[in-house]
Structure 1
Amino acid sequence: MVKKVLTWLGVAFLIFFVAFRPNSAADVFKSLGGGLVDIASGFGEFFSNLVA
């Protein structure tokens, strides 16, 4: 029950954030995406060095 309420609150906050602060929301998602790319690149480099 608590998990369901927290999930809906998170979705509502996300919608509010995107609706009223679109530039800030875009910056947040860009930085999150950049972080994920960096993580994937690190894993790729690790496995390349592991095999080589």
Structure 2
Amino acid sequence: MLKKVFTWGGIAFLIFFIAYQPSSAADVFKSLGGSILEVAQGFGDFFTDLVA
């Protein structure tokens, strides 16, 4: 039950954040995307060096 409340609360906050602060929300998602890309690149480099 508590998990459901936090999930819906998080979704509501996300919608509110995007609706009222679209440029800030875009910056946050760009930052998260860049971080995920760096992690993926690091794994790729690791496996490339492991095989080579």
Structure 2's unaligned 5+ residue stretches are none
Give TM-score, length-normalised by structure 2: 0.99
Give TM-score, length-normalised by structure 1: 0.99
1:3 and 2:3 aligned:
yes
1:43 and 2:36 aligned:
no
User: How much identity, in percent, do the aligned residues show?
Assistant: 67
Give the C-alpha shift of residue 10 in structure 1: 0.0
Counterpart residue number, 2:34: 34
Q: What is the count of residue pairs matched by the alignment?
A: 52
Q: Any runs of at least 4 consecutive aligned residues in structure 1 with deviations exceeding 6 A, and if so which?
A: none
